[in-house]
């Protein structure tokens, strides 16, 4: 059929099964918004900032496992969205982001709202396109969705000049993709898998090192079975929270800079790292030369470039985790779980020596208590998003995660302002779950305008703001490493968060006691509208334990020992 | 990761890419963004195909070179990446001399390096040599005393034996 470029965008989205688009209109993308007005194949959520549109699409993608879609205009619309693209790129989130561009005749003339968008998005997308002819648009959109979700997922940016959206051309979406230069591996080498299984069988102190790739490849339940059947202890990265359930006896905990003592010690003592979809990030490894020093390394990843990038892999396996782990499960009888009995005991001794905990020794509520309490009250019924900082680490440490896709956070890029719009996307994808965003008094202001989006579209995200009147994580580093010079981190001057939420039409609570918190959370869940629950927490609480930047995992700063209440 | 200068080795990498808009900047962005070096780069379309061939001379430790080839492979329009072990490598240089220099000397040196005088003008002569990059370097040393006015090197091209 002969239709306009703008109509093609709509038709392609519908053909791809897109049900929600996050975006913000403007001059160069108006033809497409005109078609959005006329259609009812998907709903459009108007964020109040383009960065928020991309984060919302990320939240949607992470919670649903589908490709998230955002739409923005040229120039400042696009540059506002760049942080979201970079965030999605670092965390391998499948997105298709469509931007308007000035008409072809104006490209290169410094036209109004013109910027070299694909020049800017190149280093922070998996791939990008400038569409110069509407006849290419069906193919490009089809490729964009395929590239975004296949292999190691990531954001794909499609930049469409305004005249191309008006141009009429033939639309046929039902054509086979012909990407001669892009063929992601899916099956791991059977020989390498066999060798890896033999290495596991002969190891004395093997350790699963679980990463976010497991969630991307929808392999969490296969991994659970693998861990269960082998009896091998497991540590999780920040991005892998929820792969194992919090109450799985073999889950040692999160490792890394704010990982548990037991997890970091296990990694330091292991003789075989079984890395599944993790990328040996510096926040995980600490000092590389001391990381898992006496261990051989099995590394399963779909991205060959992740293997042996930082830590040499003795058993590299390139492939899709779900497929590789399924094949490993077929040979699982080689492994005798009894062999690791004393290793499991060693690890539980580590956990007993320095358990992951906190002291309730002040009048003010401890932030960790808030996270634990939400876990007790909502548990599996909530999806948890976060912003970036102390609250994020406390949420990762203390929330009782029970399933994959429950935990939505900005790991690689560490984007403050991610949480609220992401939680909106999460709620749009999983309306049956309560959508909680843990935030701080610093982060929440970085996309606070999303109150309007949530109110308008009736998306009842509950933002729990752990307010310590500080830019807490930076303050913690200043306290520990900058001789308490708290440079520009004191956030004592603040808005009234309750009134702020109410001004947009949301609800707000300011709580100082545990009883008030319970009542506020219960009320917010019942009222089912967007809420701010501001919790006044202990100002100087530090995230512990901690591996100082560049230090070795086994050299942790630990929580002082005290009688706990 | 930045190039490890300590045990850095010169390597030649050939990349076959789809000949489309902005593909060259994808490659060069990757090198600059990840802190890899480009010593020289040549690119031209492969006849009767939709592909172009790039020849990149770079330097780095074994691990860096491995990362470079993997990262190049990840780019969507990249069809193949060859990291050459056994190769025929050639480079061209054009040099402009004042006409007042000893033309027969210059011509003889050029011949020794697989080249010749290709243009004689009013005020200048232009020579061309094509040889292994290392020998092109030697040639440029040898002609220094004839006061070359301008020198252009093409960068290396290479084919596996």
pLDDT digits (tens, 9 = 90+) for A211-228: 999 999 999 999 999 999
Residue range B65-77: average pLDDT?
A: 95
Query: At residue B5, does pLDDT exceed 80?
Result: no
* CATH number for the domain that contains residue A467: 3.40.50.970
A–B interface: beta-carbon pairs under 8 A: 39
Check: CB of residue A264 under 8 Å from CB of residue A351. no
- At residue B2, the pLDDT reads 45
Check: complex ipTM more than 0.95 = no
Residue range A350-371: average pLDDT?
A: 95
In a shared domain, residues A423 and A522: yes
Query: At residue A189, does pLDDT exceed 70?
Result: yes
In a shared domain, residues A133 and A21: yes
* Residue A175 forms part of a structural domain: no
Query: At residue B4, does pLDDT exceed 80?
Result: no
In a shared domain, residues A85 and A13: yes
Cα separation values, A88 from A285, A310, A384, A410, B33, Å: 22, 21, 18, 8, 18
* Residue A552 forms part of a structural domain: no
Residue range A532-550: average pLDDT?
A: 96
CA-based nearest residue to A339, from A196, A195, A202 = A202
Cα atoms found within 13 Å of the Cα of residue B4, Cβ hemisphere only:
12
- pLDDT above 90 coverage of chain A, percent: 98
Residue range A538-547: average pLDDT?
A: 97
* Contact (CB<8Å) B73/A309: no
Q: Does A130 touch chain B (CB under 8 A)?
A: yes
Active-site position among A473, A544, A546, A556: A473
- At residue A175, the pLDDT reads 87
Query: What backbone torsions phi and psi does residue A296 show, to the nearest 5 degrees?
Result: -80, 160
With H, G, I as helix, E, B as strand and everything else as coil, classify residue A416: coil
- At residue B6, the pLDDT reads 57
Residue corresponding to tokens 């040979």? A331
Query: What backbone torsions phi and psi does residue B24 show, to the nearest 5 degrees?
Result: -65, -40
Residue range A108-124: average pLDDT?
A: 97
Q: Does A139 touch chain B (CB under 8 A)?
A: no
Q: Domain end: A353, A376, A397, which one?
A: A353
Look up the domain containing A289 and give its range. Answer: 190-353
Q: Domain end: A330, A353, A376, which one?
A: A353
* Contact (CB<8Å) A181/B77: yes
Query: At residue A297, does pLDDT exceed 50?
Result: yes
* Contact (CB<8Å) A122/B76: no
Pick the CATH number of B9-85 from 3.10.28.10, 3.40.50.300, 3.40.50.10860, 3.30.70.260: 3.30.70.260
In a shared domain, residues A373 and A349: no
In a shared domain, residues A7 and A154: yes
In a shared domain, residues A371 and A349: no
Q: Domain end: A168, A199, A226, which one?
A: A168
* CATH number for the domain that contains residue A308: 3.40.50.1220
- At residue B86, the pLDDT reads 87
Residue range A496-518: average pLDDT?
A: 98
Domain range summary for chain B, segments of one domain joined by +: 9-85, 88-160
In a shared domain, residues A157 and A211: no
In a shared domain, residues A334 and A375: no
Q: How far apart are CA A181 and CA A158, in angstroms?
A: 19
Check: CB of residue A93 under 8 Å from CB of residue A59. no
- At residue A561, the pLDDT reads 77
pLDDT digits (tens, 9 = 90+) for A391-426: 999 999 999 999 999 999 999 999 999 999 999 999
Domain B88-160 top-level CATH class: alpha beta
In a shared domain, residues A344 and A379: no
DSSP-derived pairing of the beta strands A155-161 and A95-101: parallel
Nearest-CA distance B34 → chain A (Å) = 10
Query: At residue B3, does pLDDT exceed 50?
Result: no
Q: Same CATH topology for B9-85 and B88-160?
A: yes
Sign of the alpha-carbon dihedral angle for A539, A543, A544, A549: negative
CA-based nearest residue to B127, from B113, A162, A133 = B113
Note if the bond before A527 is cis, omega within 30 degrees.
no
pLDDT digits (tens, 9 = 90+) for B94-134: 999 999 999 999 999 999 999 999 999 999 999 999 999 99
What pTM value is reported for the model? Answer: 0.95
Query: At residue A327, does pLDDT exceed 90?
Result: yes
In a shared domain, residues A224 and A144: no
- At residue A563, the pLDDT reads 57
The total domain count for chain A is: 3
Sign of the alpha-carbon dihedral angle for B30, B33, B38, B44: positive
Cα separation values, A95 from A60, A197, A240, Å: 10, 35, 20
In a shared domain, residues A199 and A164: no
* Contact (CB<8Å) A122/B26: yes
In a shared domain, residues A296 and A395: no
Tokens representing A150 are 């296949």
């Amino acid at each position: 059929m002969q239709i306009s470029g703008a109509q093609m965008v709509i038709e392609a989205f519908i053909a791809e099964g897109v049900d929600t688009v996050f975006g913000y209109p403007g001059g160069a993308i108006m033809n497409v918004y005109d078609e959005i007005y006329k259609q009812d194949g998907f709903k459009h959520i108007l964020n109040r900032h383009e960065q928020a549109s991309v984060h919302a699409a990320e939240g949607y993608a992470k919670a649903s496992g589908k490709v998230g879609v955002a739409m923005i205009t040229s120039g400042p619309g696009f540059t506002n969205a760049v942080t979201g693209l970079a965030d999605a790129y670092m965390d391998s989130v499948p997105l298709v982001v469509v931007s308007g561009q000035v008409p072809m005749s104006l490209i290169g003339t410094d036209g109004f709202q013109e910027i070299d968008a694909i020049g800017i998005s190149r280093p922070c997308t998996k791939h990008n396109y400038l569409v110069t002819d509407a006849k290419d648009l069906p193919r490009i959109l089809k490729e964009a969705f395929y590239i975004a979700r296949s292999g190691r997922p990531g954001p794909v940016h499609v930049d469409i000049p305004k005249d191309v959206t008006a141009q009429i051309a033939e639309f046929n979406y039902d054509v086979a993709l012909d990407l001669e230069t892009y063929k992601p591996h899916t099956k791991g080498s059977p020989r390498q898998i066999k060798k890896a299984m033999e290495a596991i069988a002969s190891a004395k102190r093997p350790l699963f090192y679980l990463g976010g790739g497991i969630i991307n490849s929808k392999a969490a339940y296969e991994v659970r079975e693998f861990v269960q059947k082998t009896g091998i202890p497991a540590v999780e990265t920040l991005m892998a929270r929820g792969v194992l359930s919090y109450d799985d006896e073999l889950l040692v905990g999160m490792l890394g800079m704010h990982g548990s003592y037991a997890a970091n010690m296990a990694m330091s003592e292991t003789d075989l790292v079984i890395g599944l979809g993790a990328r040996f990030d510096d926040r995980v490894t600490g000092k590389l030369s001391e990381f898992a020093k006496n261990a051989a390394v099995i590394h399963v990843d779909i991205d060959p470039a992740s293997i042996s990038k930082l830590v040499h892999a003795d058993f590299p396996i390139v492939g899709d985790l779900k497929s590789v782990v399924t094949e490993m499960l077929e040979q699982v009888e080689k492994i005798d779980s009894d062999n690791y009995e004393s290793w499991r005991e060693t690890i539980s001794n580590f956990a007993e020596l320095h358990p992951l905990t906190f002291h309730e020794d002040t009048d003010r509520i401890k932030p960790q208590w808030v996270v634990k309490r939400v876990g007790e009250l909502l548990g599996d019924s909530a999806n948890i998003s976060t912003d970036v900082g102390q609250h994020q680490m406390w949420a990762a440490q203390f929330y009782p995660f029970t399933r994959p896709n429950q935990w939505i956070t900005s790991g690689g890029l560490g984007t403050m302002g991610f949480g609220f719009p992401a939680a909106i996307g999460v709620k749009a994808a999983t309306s049956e779950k309560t959508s909680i965003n843990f935030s701080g008094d610093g982060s929440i202001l970085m996309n606070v305008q999303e109150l309007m989006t949530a109110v308008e579209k009736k998306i009842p995200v509950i933002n729990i703001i752990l307010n310590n009147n500080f830019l807490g994580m930076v303050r913690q580093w200043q306290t520990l490493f900058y001789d308490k010079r708290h440079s520009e981190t004191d956030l004592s001057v603040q808005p009234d968060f309750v009134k702020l939420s109410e001004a947009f039409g949301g609800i707000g609570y300011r709580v100082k006691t545990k009883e008030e918190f319970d009542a506020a959370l219960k009320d917010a869940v019942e009222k089912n509208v967007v809420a701010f629950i501001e919790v006044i927490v202990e100002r100087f609480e530090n995230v512990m334990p901690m591996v100082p930047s560049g230090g070795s995992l086994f050299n942790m700063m630990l929580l002082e020992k005290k009688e706990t209440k | 990761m930045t190039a490890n200068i300590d045990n850095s080795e010169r390597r030649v990498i050939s990349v076959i890419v789809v000949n489309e808009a902005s593909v060259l900047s994808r490659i060069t962005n990757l090198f600059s963004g990840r802190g890899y070096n480009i010593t020289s780069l040549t690119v031209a379309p492969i006849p009767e195909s939709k592909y172009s061939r790039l020849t990149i001379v770079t330097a780095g430790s074994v691990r860096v070179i491995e990362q470079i080839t993997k990262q190049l492979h990840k780019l969507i329009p990249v069809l193949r990446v060859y990291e050459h072990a056994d190769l025929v490598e050639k480079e061209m240089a054009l040099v402009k001399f004042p006409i007042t220099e000893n033309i027969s000397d210059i011509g003889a040196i050029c011949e020794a390096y697989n080249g010749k005088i290709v243009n004689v003008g009013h005020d200048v002569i232009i020579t061309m040599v094509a040889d292994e990059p290392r020998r092109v370097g030697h040639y440029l040393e040898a002609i220094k005393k004839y006061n070359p006015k301008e020198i252009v090197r093409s960068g290396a091209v290479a084919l596996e034996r």
